[in-house]
Amino acid sequence: MRSLTIPTPERIILVVEDSPQIRNVIARALMMEGYIAHQAGNGLDGLKMLEKVTPHLILSDVNMPQMDGLQFFQAVRKNPAWTTIPFIFLTSHSSAEAIQRGRELGVEDYLTKPIDPHDLIKIINARLYRTAAVEVAQVGQAYLDTVKVLANVIEGRDHYTRGHVERVTTYAMWVANELNWPLQQLRMLEFGGRLHDIGKILIPASVLNKPGRLTDDEWGMMKRHTIAGAKMLRDIQHLHGTLPYVLYHHEKWDGTGYPKNLRGKEIPVQGRLLALADVYDALTTARPYHTARKHEDVIEILRKDSGIHFDPKLTPIFIDVLNKRRAQAVAQKKT
């Protein structure tokens, strides 16, 4: 049973209940499950307890002397430090009105007395698991938001590539989904796709937006954006998985790419996939040195370059996915 629950030997639960017998039953069940139970006899004592210790969850009776459960809940939610603590009400069958009132105030979980210790543990574990899952999702979203800001910085400097990183990421994600990449890899692709040109921040705007041909020196400067980007990101632990995208999206299957002249499968698959998405988007949109080309023409270019610039196994998959998505988009427009 324990192995199926969250490993939480130091998780603290605050139990607010005026009946010492019920409190003890609950506290015992919690301790058996590895939780630390702090106890209070009413809402006021509960608030005093909260000043000393911040629990991971509050379990509170509704009907109590001095300060009842609803008043206690409202007081808890008023304090910004306590607003996110999960809250479960203990109610009796006769307190339908209190349940309704609690719902209006935002209480999500109820447990009806008499308490079955087994149900109690199940509900607490489920609630803590849900809270942890939400926290993980929020942190993930925060990471993504930060990455988007960084990506916008690149695009803000490079007038011709507006929307480029979003589209490149989308194309690569379509293919990665088709290939059933694991979730963690998809997550890194979301970040890596957006950050792949981050090193361009260091390239002077005059070079970045130059409409004519680049000199050898300028071209050398441009090429350094892969290694420069990787250097910028390498110390950020949670973005380590983006380095293959940043470093290798300009490598070519025949070994003539940069920065390392890697050849064939020496190039990490992340780089091989992003190369296709990057070139497809570059050619289908207008740049200083060319106008936007038609999807069909670009597909033909990719096909011809398969085994030269691009991975010969990945290229037909990329083309299939792009064709399929395009056909879907056209069909949707018609309806």
Which residues lie near Fe ion (CB under 5 A)?
197
CB-nearer residue toward Fe ion: 155 or 197: 197
Please count the other Cβ atoms lying within 10 Å of the Cβ belonging to residue 215: 11
Nearest approach in angstroms of CB 249 to Fe ion is: 6
In the residue annotation, 200 being an active-site residue is answered as yes
Q: What tokens appear for 170 in the block?
A: 């989308």
DSSP string, 185-241: HHHHHHHHHHHTTGGGGGS-HHHHT--SPPPHHHHHHHHTHHHHHHHHHTT-GGGGG
* Residue 113, phi then psi, degrees to nearest 5: -80, 150
CB-nearer residue toward Fe ion: 127 or 225: 225
Tally of helices (H runs) and strands (E runs) in the chain: 14, 5
Nearest approach in angstroms of CB 125 to Fe ion is: 47
CB-nearer residue toward Fe ion: 197 or 305: 197
CB-nearer residue toward Fe ion: 18 or 197: 197
CB-nearer residue toward Fe ion: 41 or 192: 192
Show Cβ contacts of residue 191 under 8 Å, excluding neighbours closer than 6 positions. Answer: 143, 144, 147, 239, 241, 242
Dist CA 258 CA 294 (whole Å): 27
Nearest approach in angstroms of CB 283 to Fe ion is: 14
Nearest approach in angstroms of CB 9 to Fe ion is: 48
Which residue among 48, 52, 122, 200 is the active-site one?
Answer: 200
Q: Which residues pair with 57 in a beta bridge?
A: 13
Q: Name the amino acid, one letter, at 305.
A: D
Dist CA 40 CA 50 (whole Å): 10
Nearest approach in angstroms of CB 199 to Fe ion is: 8
Dist CA 51 CA 54 (whole Å): 7
Q: Name the amino acid, one letter, at 294.
A: K
Task: Tell me the catalytic residues.
Answer: 200
